């Protein structure tokens, strides 16, 4: 069997290259969107037999063995269409729905998820924004909430993802809005100034509680927020050390903090790498909501820990907000109707 990868500026051009070289007997194995020097290319991996007659002869069963009559082979066109559907090529999508699929793929929405959404949309009587919003709302759960009862909230993740600033933002949320007391701690013994950051933030939050005093007395519920040392993807010894430290923390709620600027592929790999830490939720810091909306949708719908919150940046004063399908949808289609 001959396997070859074809790349072009559009998915249609890539498929044309497949048909031109492999003909109607081509079977599509994989499709993807790749980056080449900053530009996006559509990649199609296809296969065909070197010689159909030779392969058929070589695999024929011995005469003494019972032979099951082969099924009638599908036509080249039918085989190609079936393969396209299996690997998420939107050949049977039409018009604006097809363009929506390509837009979602360009925003790193996973192929199967993008195709499922577009198939549902194409079955609707109208391909309006409202129809698309209903579909996405039905498949994408909302963010989970912060723990209501006293807990130990631990922030883990790679270096520079925004763990310390996310701790500061959530500590502020507990103190200012929920009127709950927090205590802070860091296990980060490597980053310069980590201990000083925690000390300064503790003094500020304690001052807020004392100043408000009788006006906004904190409830008896309290949370212990814990920062940790960043662990690089692939550093298994560092992860095992952190896992050992976390095993001594009871009533733990572990938040994985990731920066959306690293791209969906890296984020997916890091989530799998961090699963042994017992991740309860994912918090995201981001610099460009448009480029990261596909990643957010993948996380919300896929088999990953639930989303806790998002933040506009890794700065401590940046706001945090819940995942919202409408915002994600606006970024995917530019806030316009898909009609």
Terminal-residue alpha carbon distance, the chain: 43
Q: Are residues 169 and 43 located together in one domain of the fold?
A: no
Residue 270 within any structural domain of the chain: yes
Spatial separation of the C-alpha atoms in residues 225 and 150, rounded to whole Å: 11
Report the number of distinct structural domains present in the chain. 2
Spatial separation of the C-alpha atoms in residues 179 and 221, rounded to whole Å: 9
* Main-chain phi, psi angles of 253, to 5 degrees: -120, 110
Q: Are residues 261 and 171 located together in one domain of the fold?
A: yes
Q: Are 154 and 185 in contact (CB under 8 A)?
A: no
Q: Are 57 and 49 in contact (CB under 8 A)?
A: no
Q: Are residues 170 and 314 located together in one domain of the fold?
A: yes
Q: Are residues 163 and 39 located together in one domain of the fold?
A: no
Residue 328 within any structural domain of the chain: no
Q: Are residues 85 and 175 located together in one domain of the fold?
A: no
Q: What is the dihedral angle through the alpha carbons of 94, 97, 101, 102, rounded to the nearest 10 degrees?
A: 70
Q: Are residues 253 and 158 located together in one domain of the fold?
A: yes
Q: Are residues 289 and 218 located together in one domain of the fold?
A: yes
Q: Are residues 190 and 78 located together in one domain of the fold?
A: no
Residue ranges making up the domain that contains 284: 151-322
Spatial separation of the C-alpha atoms in residues 80 and 91, rounded to whole Å: 10
Residue 210 sits in a domain whose CATH number is: 3.40.50.300
Three-class secondary structure of residue 156 per DSSP = strand
pLDDT at 241: 94
Give the residues across from 324 on adjacent strands: none
Residue 133 within any structural domain of the chain: no
Q: Are residues 188 and 315 located together in one domain of the fold?
A: yes
Q: Are residues 81 and 195 located together in one domain of the fold?
A: no
Q: Are residues 183 and 312 located together in one domain of the fold?
A: yes
Spatial separation of the C-alpha atoms in residues 156 and 164, rounded to whole Å: 10
pLDDT at 129: 81
Query: Residue 201 to residues 83, 262, 266: CA-CA distances in angstroms?
Result: 57, 28, 31
Q: Are residues 161 and 308 located together in one domain of the fold?
A: yes
Residue 283 within any structural domain of the chain: yes
Residue 36 sits in a domain whose CATH number is: 3.30.1660
Residue 119 within any structural domain of the chain: no
Residue 199 within any structural domain of the chain: yes
Residue 327 within any structural domain of the chain: no
Query: Residue 187 to residues 163, 230, 244, 250, 298: CA-CA distances in angstroms?
Result: 12, 10, 12, 15, 31
Task: Give the dihedral sign, CA 250/255/256/259.
Answer: negative
Per-residue pLDDT of the chain (339 residues; tens, 9 = 90+): 678 888 888 877 887 888 888 887 777 777 777 777 777 788 888 877 665 444 444 444 444 333 333 333 444 454 444 445 445 455 567 778 888 888 888 888 888 888 888 888 888 877 778 888 889 888 887 778 888 888 899 999 998 888 988 998 898 888 888 888 888 988 887 776 777 777 777 777 764 444 444 445 555 668 899 999 999 999 999 999 999 999 999 999 999 999 887 778 889 999 999 999 999 999 998 756 666 888 889 998 888 999 998 887 666 666 778 887 877 787 777 654 444
Spatial separation of the C-alpha atoms in residues 123 and 132, rounded to whole Å: 11
Q: Provide the phi-psi class of 327: left if phi over 0, else alpha when psi is between -120 and 50, else beta.
A: alpha
Q: Which residue shows structure tokens 């050992």? A: 244
- Provide the edge-to-edge strand list for the sheet that holds 39-48: 2-8, 39-48, 27-36
Residue 336 within any structural domain of the chain: no
Tokens (6 digits) for 80: 């190609």
Pinpoint the alpha helices (H) of the chain: 11-22, 52-58, 76-86, 95-106, 111-122, 129-139, 163-172, 194-212, 236-246, 264-274, 289-301, 325-333
Spatial separation of the C-alpha atoms in residues 268 and 286, rounded to whole Å: 16
Three-class secondary structure of residue 136 per DSSP = helix
pLDDT at 323: 81
């Amino acid at each position: 069997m001959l396997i070859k990868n074809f790349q072009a500026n559009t998915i249609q051009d890539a498929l044309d290259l497949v048909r031109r070289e492999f003909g109607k007997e081509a079977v599509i194995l994989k499709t993807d969107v790749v980056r080449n020097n900053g530009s996006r290319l559509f990649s199609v991996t296809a296969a065909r037999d070197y010689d159909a007659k030779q392969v058929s002869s070589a695999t024929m069963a011995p005469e003494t063995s019972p032979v099951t009559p082969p099924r009638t082979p599908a036509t080249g066109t039918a085989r190609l269409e079936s393969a396209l559907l299996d690997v998420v090529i939107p050949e049977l999508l039409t018009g604006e729905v097809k363009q929506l699929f390509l837009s979602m793929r360009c925003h790193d929405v996973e192929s199967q998820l993008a195709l499922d959404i577009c198939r549902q949309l194409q079955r609707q009587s109208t391909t309006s924004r409202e129809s698309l919003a209903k579909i996405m709302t039905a498949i994408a759960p909302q963010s989970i909430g912060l723990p209501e009862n006293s807990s130990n909230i631990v922030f883990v993740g790679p270096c520079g993802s925004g763990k310390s600033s996310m701790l500061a933002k959530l500590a502020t949320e507990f103190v200012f809005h929920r009127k709950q007391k927090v205590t802070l701690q860091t296990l980060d013994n490597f980053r310069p100034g980590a201990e000083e950051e925690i000390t300064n933030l503790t003094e500020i939050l304690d001052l807020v509680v004392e100043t408000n005093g009788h006006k906004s007395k904190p409830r008896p519920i309290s949370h212990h927020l814990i920062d940790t040392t960043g662990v690089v993807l692939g550093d298994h010894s560092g992860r095992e050390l952190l896992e050992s430290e976390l095993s001594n923390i009871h009533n733990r709620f572990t938040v994985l903090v990731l920066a959306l600027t690293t791209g969906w592929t890296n984020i997916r790999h890091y989530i799998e790498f961090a699963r042994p830490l017992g991740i309860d939720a994912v918090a995201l810091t981001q610099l460009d909501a448009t480029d990261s909306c596909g990643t957010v949708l993948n996380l919300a719908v896929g088999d990953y820990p639930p989303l806790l919150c998002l933040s506009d940046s890794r700065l401590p004063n940046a706001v945090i907000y819940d995942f919202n399908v409408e915002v994600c949808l606006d970024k995917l289609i530019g806030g316009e109707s898909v009609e």
